[in-house]
Amino acid sequence: MTQAFGLKSKANLSTVHEDLQSIMEEAIKDAPYDFSITEGLRSLERQKQLFADKKSSTMKSRHLTGHAVDVCIIIDGKACWEMDKYKELATHIEAVASALDIDIECGAFWQRFPDGPHIQLTHKEYPDAA
């Protein structure tokens, strides 16, 4: 079954770098799970709050520059937060990015602060704007 993003996901996705948009638009088509884009570009105020709430470990988030998205896996119409499923989805998204020759990092594989929903373009290939 081919999957597609809803209006809210499309709106969130439209706020990030076009290469990240391309990856996610391709990845949703045959992803192992349906998923939505819950956040793209993030305001500094929101980042400060997430940092204060310990939901982010940095004030230098790639969300602040439009180089990251957060996703939410949807199973049977409900949000799923199981890390093993995020790792499976991240593996799929990495394969799509590789096929498009775009470098990404997936928070599901981070050791210090695992962040299953987080997908970002690499700093090396996509430095923050000056």
Global pTM? 0.92
List b or e across 91-115, with b for residues whose CB sees 16 or more CB atoms inside 10 angstroms: ebbbebbeeeebebbbbbeeeeeeb
Per-residue pLDDT of the chain (130 residues; tens, 9 = 90+): 679 999 999 999 999 999 999 999 999 999 999 999 999 999 999 999 999 998 888 899 999 999 999 999 999 999 999 999 999 999 999 999 999 999 999 999 999 889 999 999 999 999 876 4
Nearest one of 120, 128, 125 to 37, comparing CA atoms: 120
Q: CA-CA distance, 97 to 64, in Å (whole number)?
A: 21
